[in-house]
């Protein structure tokens, strides 16, 4: 089977800007601490995802999941190592990413579609289905700067899901929005998976990951700590213990 994503000894670091103004920099320079520290968000990660695989990317907050997803999507470039992908990539990394707050929902559909590589004619053909999926027709001519996070998620996911992509990536988009919308998104992601496209799905929701994926990658402090079946990944993270506690305590 063809390889869809290859991550080969990839590392990415960021600078922690603890001296933002000129005055702060001068003071820190006099104190001998001008240089801002750095940290490794992704540290020597290596793995391969085959075409048609649905892989869950799991880990605690700050483990490097979103950074790794941005490296795969091409939003970021690695400092070391290589990221190779095959085909067209679409998805939703951040709820409001790719939207201009002063433009209307209608205008942002075309803007976001263009960012994802869609031609205007393609957006024209899929416009009605995007609006129907997002269920935001009443607010289509309202500036998206007035949208709630749930409305951003609706519109962003609707555009991303309409792209004829080879790789579909989702980063915690289902953490916002109401239950009917989440259900509709899961159904759409399942459909994308069944079409044979590659999926990389970031979520803390073990039920969603189990439903959509057979394999999971677990990041720990930027390093790949586990690669294997989802059930084993959940146990590795000790998330199953949290599930037991939730079950004993009833609904949260």
Does residue 22 register a pLDDT over 70?
no
Task: Summarize the confidence of residues 222-246 as an average pLDDT.
Answer: 83
Neighbours of 164 (CB within 10 A): 13
Task: Summarize the confidence of residues 47-72 as an average pLDDT.
Answer: 94
Task: Summarize the confidence of residues 35-44 as an average pLDDT.
Answer: 84
Neighbours of 138 (CB within 10 A): 8
Lowest mean pLDDT among 26-40, 108-122, 218-232: 26-40
What pLDDT is stored for residue 171 in this prediction? 85
Q: Write out pLDDT tens, residues 158-199.
A: 999 999 999 999 887 666 667 888 888 889 999 999 999 999
Map 100-154 to HEC letters. Answer: CCCCEHHHHHHHHHHHCCCCHHHHHHHHHHHHHHHCCHHHCCCEHHHCCHHHHHH
What pLDDT is stored for residue 251 in this prediction? 36
- In CATH, what number does 3-249 get? 3.40.50.300
Helix 230-237 vs helix 239-249: angle between axes, to the nearest 10 degrees?
80
Task: Summarize the confidence of residues 135-157 as an average pLDDT.
Answer: 91
Task: Summarize the confidence of residues 13-38 as an average pLDDT.
Answer: 67
Does residue 236 register a pLDDT over 80?
yes
Query: How would you classify the pairing of strands 80-85 and 89-92?
Result: unpaired
Does residue 252 register a pLDDT over 60?
no
Does residue 245 register a pLDDT over 60?
no
Q: 231 - beta bridge partners?
A: none
Does residue 23 register a pLDDT over 70?
no
117: left (phi over 0), alpha (psi -120 to 50) or beta: left
Mean pLDDT in the chain? 87
d(CA 129, CA 224): 38
Give me the residue spans of the domains in the chain.
Answer: 3-249
d(CA 113, CA 122): 9
Does residue 12 register a pLDDT over 90?
yes
Does residue 67 register a pLDDT over 90?
yes
Per-residue confidence at 247, pLDDT binned at 50, 70, 90?
A: very low
* Of the ranges 27-36, 147-156, 185-194, 221-230, the best mean pLDDT one: 221-230
Of all residues in the chain, the percent with pLDDT exceeding 70 is 84
Residue 134 near residue 150 (C-beta atoms within 8 A): no
Of all residues in the chain, the percent with pLDDT exceeding 90 is 63
Residue 4 near residue 49 (C-beta atoms within 8 A): yes
Task: Summarize the confidence of residues 206-215 as an average pLDDT.
Answer: 92
């Amino acid at each position: 089977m063809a390889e869809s994503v290859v991550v080969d000894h990839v590392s990415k670091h960021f600078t922690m800007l603890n001296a933002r103004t000129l005055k702060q920099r001068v003071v820190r320079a006099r104190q001998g601490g001008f240089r801002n520290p750095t940290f490794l968000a992704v540290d020597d990660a290596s793995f391969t995802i085959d075409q048609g695989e649905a892989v869950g990317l799991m880990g605690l907050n700050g483990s490097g999941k979103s950074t790794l997803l941005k490296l795969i999507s091409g939003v970021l470039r690695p400092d070391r190592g290589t990221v190779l992908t095959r085909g067209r990539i679409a998805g939703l990394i951040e709820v409001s990413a790719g939207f201009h707050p002063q433009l209307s929902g209608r205008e942002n559909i075309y803007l976001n579609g263009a960012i994802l590589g869609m031609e205007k004619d393609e957006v024209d053909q899929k416009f009605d289905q995007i609006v129907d999926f997002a269920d935001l027709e009443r607010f289509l001519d309202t500036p998206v700067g007035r949208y709630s996070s749930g409305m951003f998620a609706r519109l962003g996911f609707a555009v991303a899901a309409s792209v004829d992509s080879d790789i579909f990536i989702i980063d915690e988009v289902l953490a916002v929005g109401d239950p009917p919308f989440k259900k509709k998104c899961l159904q759409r992601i399942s459909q994308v998976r069944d079409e044979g496209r590659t999926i990389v799905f970031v979520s803390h929701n073990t039920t969603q990951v189990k439903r959509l994926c057979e394999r999971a990658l677990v990041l720990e402090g930027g390093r790949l700590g586990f690669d294997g079946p989802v059930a084993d990944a959940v146990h590795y993270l000790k998330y199953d213990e949290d599930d037991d506690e939730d079950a004993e305590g009833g609904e949260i």
